[in-house]
Amino acid sequence: MEAQRPISYSGQGFSLLGEKGRFVLPPDFRKAVRDSGNGERVLCLAKHPRWKCLTGFGLGRVEQFEAELDREERNALDRGHDFDREMRAAQLYGFTQVPFDDSGRFVLPERFFKMGSIKEAIYFQGGGLQFTVWDPEELAKMGQGWEDAQEACLDLAAKAANGKGRK
**pLDDT tens digits, residue range 59-96?**
999 888 899 899 999 999 999 999 999 999 998 899 99
Beta-carbon count within 10 A of 129 CB? 15
* C-beta pairs of 99-103 under 8 Å, 24+ apart in sequence: 99/41, 99/42, 99/43, 100/25, 100/30, 100/33, 100/41, 100/42, 100/43, 101/41, 102/41, 103/24
Side-chain-side CA neighbours of 81 within 13 Å: the count stands at 9
**Each residue's pLDDT tens digit, 2-33:** 345 678 999 999 999 998 999 999 999 999 99
pLDDT for res 21? 93
Average pLDDT, the chain: 92
Contact 65, 92 (CB under 8 A): yes
Beta-carbon count within 10 A of 44 CB? 20
What domains can be seen in the chain, in order of their start residue? 12-62+93-161 (3.40.1550.20)
pLDDT for res 166? 45
Three-state DSSP class for residue 99: strand
